[in-house]
Amino acid sequence: MRKASLRSSQMLLASALVFANMSSALLAESAPGVFRSEFLKGNLGWADVTAKARTEGNVNFYYWGGSDLINLWVDQVAVPELAAEGIKLNPVRITATKDTVDVVIAQLAAGRGEEQGSVDLVWVNGENFFSLQQQNALWGAFANRLPNSVNFEWDEADARSLLNLRDFGVATEFQEMPFSGEQYVCSVNRAYVSTDQTPATFAELKTYLEANPGKFTYVKPPHYLGNTFVQSVLYAHNPDGTGAEPYQKTFEDLGSAELARLIEPGFDYLKSIEPLLLGGPSGQTRYPESSGELDNMFLNSQVHFNCKFGVFANHTGLITGAYPEQAEEMIFPRGNMIKNKNYLAIPLNSPNPAAALVAINYFSSVDSQASRLKTAGMPVGLDVWRLNQSDKDLIEASAPPHYGITQQELDDNTAPDTNASLVDVIEATWLAVIERKEDKPIADIVAQVSGELNN
C-alpha cells in the first residue's frame, strides 16, 4: 500500500517534471515570431541580435549567380568574414530571383510560417520586391535599425534618399536594405564605331543604324533589361518634355488614357527602329533573351553596342573577356541613363532571421562594400556623402576605372526608374505592339492590357 502510494507519487513527480520540461521546450520552440516582434518593437539591442545569430549559426543567401566575379567575392571574402562573426553564409546561386520569390510564397501558402522557411536572405528589387510585399511575405522594417544603417540616407527631406526609400516607385518601408546602386550604361565597340559616330540620343542611334543596319538590339521585354531600355526611350520621347517625371506616378493616378498619350511617340520610335535592329534587314528582328546572350552578340561583333545595368560592366567585361577588346562606355541616352538600387530583403519565414540581420549589416559596411567594388566591380549601395573622409577615400580608391567617360558624366545623366505598376502595363504594351504587331490605336492596347492585368 505504502509502496504503491510512493510509486504513484514518484510517477506524479516524474510526469510533472516531464510536463515542465515539455512546456519550457515548447516555449523555446514557440519562439517563432517572438524574436521578430521583439526586434521590430525595438526591445532588442544589437548584442541580443548577434547573440541569437550565433546560436542560429547559418544564413541561406539566395542570389543571382550569373556573375563569376560576384560569386568569387562572396565565396572568398564574404563567407570567411562572416564566419569570423560566428555565422556560416550558405550562398545559393539562382538564375532568376522570381524562382526564390515563388519558393517563399509557396512555403507560406503551405503553412510554413515564421522561422519555418528555407530562405533567409534574398537579393531583390523592382517587381520581385513588389510581389513579396503584396503577398505579405516580408519580415519587417529593419533597414534603419542596423548599426550600419548610418551609411545610408533615410531623411525624406533629402531628395537623394528616394533611391533607398522607393524601389521602382514602391515604398520600401525599410523592409529591404540597399545592396548596390546601378546605372543603365551602354558600351560601344570602338573597332567599328568611332567617337564622332557614337550616338548620344535615340535620333542619332537611328541615324547610325540607317547607315549600319542590324548593329544594335536590346534584351527582349519583359526581361528587366529590356524594360529599362524601353523606359529610357519613353522618357526621351515624352511629348511634354518632362522626361521621367510622370512615370513616377502609379497607374491608377496616371490613368490609362494619359499613359497612352505619353508613351505613343516612344512606341512609334521603337516600331520605326525595329527593321534596323539585329536580324531586321533580313526580315526577322532578334531580341536576345538575357544579358549573357547580348554579351555574346557584342563579343562576336554581331552588334556594336551592349546596354545593361552595370556602372563597371565595361571593366568587368574586359577583365573576364566577355567584352571585345576595344569596348568603351558611352553616354547614351543623354540625360536618361536610368539609375536604381538593388536590395537585400528577409522573407517572413526566414529560419535564421537574426543571422540574416547580421549578414545584412556586414554587407552594408564600408569595408565590405569597398572590397566588393574593388574585386567584383559592383558599385556601392551606401550613400557616400554619409561617410567620413577616410571612408570616402577608401571607396574612391577601390573604384575600377571607366573607359572613355568619367564617373561625373554618368552622375550628370541619371534618370529614375519607372513605377512598378506602370512597368507591367508598358511591358504588356511592348508585347502587343512590337512582338504581336497588333494594329490598333495605342490607347486601345493600353486599355486592353491594363484590363487584363487587373483581373
What is the nearest approach in angstroms of other proteins to the Cβ of residue 243?
25
Closer to other proteins at the Cβ: 149 or 421?
A: 421
What is the nearest approach in angstroms of other proteins to the Cβ of residue 326?
15
CB 423 within 8 A of CB 168: yes
CB 442 within 8 A of CB 260: yes
Q: Does 278 bind other proteins (CB under 8 A)?
A: yes
- Exposed, middle or buried: residue 441 (CB in 10 Å: 0-12, 13-18, 19+)? exposed
Q: Does 214 bind other proteins (CB under 8 A)?
A: yes
Beta-bridge partners for 187: 306, 329
Closer to other proteins at the Cβ: 278 or 378?
A: 278
Closer to other proteins at the Cβ: 137 or 146?
A: 137
Interacting stretch for other proteins, rule CB under 8 A, among 129-137, 140-148, 150-158, 255-263? Answer: 129-137
Q: Which residues contact 96 (CB under 8 A, 6 or more apart)?
A: 64
**Residue 85 phi, psi (nearest 5):** -90, 10
CA distance from start to end of the chain: 76
Q: Does 452 bind other proteins (CB under 8 A)?
A: yes
Closer to other proteins at the Cβ: 5 or 300?
A: 300
Beta-bridge partners for 329: 187
What is the nearest approach in angstroms of other proteins to the Cβ of residue 296?
5
Interacting stretch for other proteins, rule CB under 8 A, among 18-26, 33-41, 285-293, 409-417? Answer: 285-293
CA distance 332 to 327: 15
Closer to other proteins at the Cβ: 76 or 282?
A: 282
Which one of 126, 310, 324, 381 is in contact with other proteins (CB under 8 A)?
Answer: 126
**∠ Cα 199 202 205 (to 5°):** 45
Which one of 22, 109, 171, 203 is in contact with other proteins (CB under 8 A)?
Answer: 109
One symbol per residue from 135 to 164: x for binding other proteins (CB under 8 A), - otherwise; what is it?
A: x-----------------------------
Q: Does 300 bind other proteins (CB under 8 A)?
A: yes
CA-nearest of 30, 26, 88 to 55 is 88
Q: Does 131 bind other proteins (CB under 8 A)?
A: yes
Which residues, 328 to 347, sit near other proteins by CB under 8 A? none
CB 150 within 8 A of CB 386: yes
CA distance 101 to 132: 7
Return the DSSP state at 271: H
Interacting stretch for other proteins, rule CB under 8 A, among 61-69, 170-178, 250-258, 291-299? Answer: 291-299
The residue count for binding other proteins (CB under 8 A) is: 37
Which residues, 410 to 449, sit near other proteins by CB under 8 A? 424, 435-436
CA distance 299 to 318: 10
Q: Does 296 bind other proteins (CB under 8 A)?
A: yes
Q: Does 11 bind other proteins (CB under 8 A)?
A: no
- Exposed, middle or buried: residue 14 (CB in 10 Å: 0-12, 13-18, 19+)? exposed
Sequence length of the chain is 455
Pairing status of strand 337-345 against strand 121-124: antiparallel
Q: Does 217 bind other proteins (CB under 8 A)?
A: no
CB 219: neighbour CB atoms within 10 A? 23
Q: Does 127 bind other proteins (CB under 8 A)?
A: yes
Question: Scanning the structure block, which residue is given the C-alpha cell 538590339?
Answer: 217
Q: Does 62 bind other proteins (CB under 8 A)?
A: no
What is the nearest approach in angstroms of other proteins to the Cβ of residue 160?
27
Interacting stretch for other proteins, rule CB under 8 A, among 95-103, 169-177, 248-256, 406-414? Answer: 95-103
Beta-bridge partners for 184: 309
Crossing angle, helix 224-236 and helix 420-430, to 10 degrees? Answer: 90
Q: Helix, strand, coil % (nearest 5) of the chain?
A: 55, 15, 35
Which one of 106, 150, 171, 397 is in contact with other proteins (CB under 8 A)?
Answer: 106
CA distance 118 to 58: 11
Q: Does 320 bind other proteins (CB under 8 A)?
A: no
CB 186: neighbour CB atoms within 10 A? 24
Interacting stretch for other proteins, rule CB under 8 A, among 51-59, 126-134, 308-316, 348-356? Answer: 126-134
Interacting stretch for other proteins, rule CB under 8 A, among 46-54, 60-68, 96-104, 317-325? Answer: 96-104
Residues that bind other proteins (CB under 8 A): 96, 98, 101, 105-106, 108-109, 126-128, 130-131, 134-135, 214, 220, 222, 278-279, 282, 284, 286-287, 289, 296-297, 299-303, 424, 435-436, 452-453, 455
